[in-house]
C-alpha cells in the first residue's frame, strides 16, 4: 500500500487512528463506569436534552436535581443559541458540570458578551469556551476582558487570537498585565520585533508569562552563549531556554552530547543557528537516531551538521521514505540514496514525483 499512502498528504501508511481512539476511551472511562446518583438529573439530560448516557451519568453524580429546572433549561438553550454543538456542550458539562447551577445572567452571559464586544464570532466563542470551560467562571472585568484586549492588540485580528486561544485558552484565566506585558516590553528593548514575538508566542506562550527575572536571566544566558541579538534566532533561543528549568536544560545538553556526539562547540553553534532543535525530547532524539542509522546509509554526524533533522516526523517522513528507497535499491533502480538533508527537505509531492511515480512499472507490486 506504499504507493497509495505516499499519495496522501502526510506520506504516512494507512492505519487505524488508535491514538485518538485510546484518548476517547480515556476521556470517558471514569464516567462510563459511574452510576447516576441522581436519576432525575440523568433522565432530564438524556430524555429532554438528548445528552449521551456517559455525560448524563457524570453530571448526575455531581449535581442534585433542582426544585425548578428552568435555569438548567435556560443555560442549555443559551449555549445552543450561541452556536455550541452537542459535542461541545457535552465537553463543557463533562469538565464543569456545575455550570448548570451557575447564574446565567451574572456568570455566563457576561463572558459571552465580552467576546462579542471584541468582535468574536459565535463559532470562535464556541471553540474557545468548549476547550477551556473554566473561562466561564473567570472574572469578566479582571481577567477575560483585559486578556482579550491585550491579545487583540498584540495579534491584530480576532482570527489570530482565536488560533492562540484554541491551543492556550488558559491565557484568559491569567493576569497578562502582571508578567506578559513587561516581558514583551523588555524583549522589544533587546531588539526583538513584534512580528517575532507574536510568532514565538503561538508556540511557547507560557514563556511570556514567566516571572520577569526569569526572562531576564534567559536573555543573559543566551547572550553568554554568543547568540547575536540582531539574529532572528535570538528570541527562539531565549524562549526555548526559558521553557526549561536549569536542570532540564542541562539534561537536554547531555542528550546532545551523549546520544548524538555533539561537542561544546557544536552545541553553541546549534544554539546560535537552530535553537529549535533543543525543543525535541530526549526520547525522540533516540528514536530519530535509531531509525536513521538503521538504514546503514547515514551516521550520527549528519545531526551535528544539520540539527534540524531531529525535528522531522519519524512516522510521516523518515520511515515511509526510507522504505521506498530500500525497495528501489533492492530492485536495482537506484544505486545511491540522496543526502539526508535533501531528502528531509523534500515536500511529499516532490518525493512522490521523484522516487515513486517514475518507477511504478518496474516495482509496481511493492510500491502499490
Taking only the tens of pLDDT, the chain with its 368 residues reads 454 345 444 444 333 344 333 333 333 344 444 445 578 999 989 999 999 999 999 999 999 988 888 999 999 999 999 899 999 999 999 999 999 999 999 999 999 999 998 888 899 899 899 988 999 988 888 899 999 999 999 999 888 998 899 889 899 999 999 999 999 999 999 999 999 999 999 989 999 999 999 999 999 999 999 999 999 999 999 999 999 998 999 999 999 999 999 999 999 999 999 999 999 999 999 999 999 999 999 999 999 999 999 999 999 999 999 999 999 999 999 999 999 999 999 999 999 999 999 988 877 666 65
What is the structure's pLDDT at 68? Answer: 84
Distance CA 359, CA 19 (A): 33
Amino acid at each position: 500500500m506504499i504507493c497509495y499512502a505516499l499519495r496522501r498528504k502526510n506520506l504516512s501508511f494507512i492505519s487505524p487512528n488508535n491514538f485518538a481512539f485510546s484518548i476517547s476511551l480515556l476521556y470517558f472511562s471514569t464516567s462510563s463506569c459511574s452510576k447516576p446518583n441522581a436519576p432525575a438529573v440523568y433522565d432530564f439530560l438524556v430524555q429532554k436534552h438528548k445528552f449521551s448516557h456517559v455525560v448524563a451519568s457524570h453530571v448526575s453524580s455531581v449535581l442534585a436535581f433542582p426544585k425548578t429546572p428552568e435555569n438548567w433549561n435556560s443555560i442549555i438553550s443559551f449555549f445552543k443559541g450561541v452556536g455550541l454543538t452537542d459535542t461541545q456542550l457535552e465537553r463543557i458539562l463533562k469538565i464543569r458540570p456545575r455550570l448548570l447551577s451557575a447564574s446565567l445572567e451574572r456568570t455566563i452571559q457576561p463572558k459571552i458578551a465580552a467576546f462579542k464586544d471584541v468582535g468574536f464570532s459565535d463559532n470562535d466563542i464556541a471553540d474557545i469556551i468548549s476547550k477551556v470551560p473554566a473561562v466561564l467562571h473567570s472574572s469578566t472585568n479582571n481577567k477575560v476582558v483585559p486578556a482579550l484586549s491585550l491579545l487583540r492588540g498584540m495579534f491584530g485580528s480576532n482570527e489570530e487570537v482565536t488560533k492562540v486561544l484554541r491551543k492556550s485558552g488558559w491565557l484568559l484565566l491569567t493576569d497578562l498585565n502582571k508578567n506578559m506585558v513587561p516581558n514583551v516590553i523588555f524583549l522589544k528593548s533587546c531588539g526583538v520585533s513584534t512580528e517575532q514575538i507574536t510568532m514565538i508566542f503561538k508556540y511557547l506562550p507560557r514563556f511570556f508569562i514567566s516571572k520577569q527575572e526569569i526572562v531576564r536571566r534567559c536573555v543573559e544566558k543566551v547572550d553568554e552563549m554568543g547568540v547575536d541579538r540582531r539574529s532572528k534566532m535570538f528570541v527562539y533561543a531565549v524562549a526555548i531556554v526559558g521553557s526549561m528549568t536549569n536542570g532540564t536544560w542541562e539534561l537536554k545538553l547531555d542528550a546532545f552530547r551523549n546520544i548524538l556526539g555533539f561537542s561544546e562547540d557544536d552545541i553553541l553553534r546549534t544554539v546560535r543557528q537552530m535553537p529549535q532543535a533543543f525543543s525535541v525530547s530526549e526520547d525522540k532524539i533516540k528514536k530519530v537516531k535509531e531509525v536513521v542509522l538503521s538504514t546503514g546509509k547515514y551516521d550520527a554526524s549528519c545531526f551535528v551538521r544539520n540539527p534540524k533533522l531531529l525535528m522531522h516526523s519519524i512516522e510521516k517522513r523518515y520511515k515511509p521514505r526510507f522504505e521506498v528507497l530500500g525497495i528501489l535499491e533492492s530492485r536495482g533502480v537506484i544505486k545511491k540514496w540522496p543526502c539526508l538533508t535533501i531528502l528531509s527537505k523534500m515536500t511529499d509531492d516532490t518525493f512522490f514525483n521523484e522516487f515513486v511515480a517514475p518507477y511504478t512499472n518496474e516495482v509496481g507490486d511493492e510500491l502499490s
